Amino acid sequence: MKHLIRSSQLSRQELLSLFDRANEFLPVVKERRKLKLAEGKILATLFFEPSTRTRFSFETAMLRLGGDVISNPQMLQTSSAKKGESLYDTGRTVSQYADVIALRHPEAQAIHDLVEGARVPVVNGGNGPEDHPTQGLLDLFTILEEKGRLDDLTIAMVGDLKHSRVVHSQCELLSHFSHLRFILVSPEGLRMPPSYVTMLQEKGFEVTETEELHVALEACDVLSDTRIQQERFASEEDYLKHKGVYILTPELMQKAKPDMILIDPLPRVDHIHPSVDSDPRAKYFDQVQNGVALRMAVLAELMGLC
Ligand code: NCD
């Protein structure tokens, strides 16, 4: 793997071997240890969009591998991008400081421009509404850890399916598995882009689209939840039309199977009531740890560390 740009670039074999590697790294994360695998290597995190988890997760992963980190979490405001520097030039320049680069950017195209200039591996930390491969990977890794399989599952995706790059990545990655049933729950105006629905149907999966959350809750093994993505709307008024449309509460959770799992990339805004946190089926904070192990696996793979 030269770069990790798109979820669709990964084969089933590559997914499974990343999950194996992440599993090996999990005790290092849980025991808060540090390896020497990446000694002498540097990760640069270039973030043009807000982030809590993804940036810290990449950086923690690099530090636990034994490497170092240089970071700019406010590229838009404080990097030379503000003076008009291209992403191509940024990529060529940062490649001379760092051995691997993680980029987050509000525009889907930006990662491709950076890769053109980069002379070291680049990993996509979220490109606009399009893709967020490492989040999708850590979500599947969590499903595998919790359910013991990635085949034969009913997966409900709930929320802003139009703008959430995370659910788009999940669709691409899940398409490698078999006997999956998808229930896509969103308001009419925030439906999953048809290209993903068609792709899943062409793989032979059953796909149901609905606005009714309770239909999905009763049937699903995995509930993949996501917030309404405020920053992707053309106007505040448009966002307000959809704000708070689905709010998970303990009462709603009673409708779900006892062994279902609830995953969410977070941040939480108003879409999960805090009293759901104590439900053992809520896995969104456990995902954080899995994310570090998974990103250790991705960084090790990109840097060719054995
Ligand atoms: C997600 C993102 O940035 O796309 N968050 C994350 O990476 N943990 C989801 C979101 O912002 O809703």
Tokens describing residue 221 = 């093994």
Is-contact 100 121, C-beta < 8 A? yes
Pocket test for ligand 1, best of 45, 54, 167 (most atoms within 8 A of CB): 54
How far apart CA 64 and CA 34 sit, in angstroms, is: 4
Q: What is the pLDDT of residue 306?
A: 85
Number of Cβ within a 10 Å radius of residue 145? 18
Structure-block tokens of residue 141: 């890794």
> For residue 261, what are its two tokens?
């799992």
pLDDT at residue 101, rounded to an integer: 98
Query: Is 132 marked active-site?
Result: yes
Q: What is the pLDDT of residue 166?
A: 98
CA of 265 to the centre of ligand 1 (A): 6
Atom of ligand 1 nearest to the CA of 132: 4
Q: How far is the CA of 151 from the centre of ligand 1 (A)?
A: 25
Beta strand residue intervals within the chain, DSSP E: 42-47, 68-72, 100-105, 122-127, 153-158, 180-185, 206-210, 222-225, 261-263
Residue 177 CB partners (closer than 8 Å, separation 6+):
12, 150, 151
The predicted-structure confidence for 111-142, as pLDDT tens digits, reads as follows: 999 999 999 999 999 999 999 999 999 999 99
Distance 12 CA to ligand 1 centre (A): 24
Q: How many CB atoms lie within 10 A of CB 304?
A: 8
Residue partners of 209: CB distance under 8 A and separation at least 6: 184, 186, 191, 192, 197
The pLDDT of 197-201, averaged and rounded, is: 98
Reported as a single tens digit per residue, the pLDDT across 237-258 is 999 999 999 999 999 999 999 9
Q: For residues 110 and 103, is the Cβ–Cβ distance under 8 A? A: yes
112 lines ligand 1 (CB under 6 A): no
Q: Ligand 1: does its nearest atom lie under 6 Å from the Cβ of 287?
A: no
User: Does the annotation count 53 as an active-site position?
Assistant: yes
- pLDDT in the model for residue 113: 98
How far are the Cα atoms of 27, 67, 148, 222, 305 from residue 153, in angstroms, in the given order? 27, 38, 11, 7, 34
Q: Give the tokens for residue 148.
A: 């013991």
| Structure-block tokens of residue 109 | 């195209």
Assess whether 54 carries a catalytic annotation. yes
Long-range contacts of 90-95 (CB under 8 A, 24+ apart): 90/46, 90/114, 90/117, 91/115, 91/116, 91/117, 91/118, 91/119, 91/122, 92/117, 92/118, 92/119, 93/117, 94/44, 94/46, 94/118, 95/119, 95/120
The answer on pLDDT for 212 being more than 90 is yes
pLDDT value, residue 230: 95
Rounded to two decimals, what is the model's pTM?
A: 0.97
Active-site pick, 3, 41, 45, 54: 54
Render pLDDT for 15-61 as a digit per residue (tens, 0 to 9): 999 999 999 999 999 999 999 999 999 999 999 999 999 999 999 99
42 touches 70 (CB < 8 A) = yes
Q: Is the CB of 170 under 6 A from ligand 1?
A: no
Please say if 283 is a catalytic residue: no
Backbone angles phi, psi at 13, to 5 degrees: -65, -40
Ligand 1 neighbourhood includes 91 CB (under 6 angstroms): no
The structure tokens listed for 153 are 């599952």
Residue entry with tokens 């003076």? 83
Q: What is the residue-averaged pLDDT of the chain?
A: 97
Decide whether any atom of ligand 1 lies within 6 Å of the 266 Cβ: yes
Check if 257 has its Cβ closer than 6 Å to any atom of ligand 1. Answer: no
Mean pLDDT calculated for residue range 259-279: 97
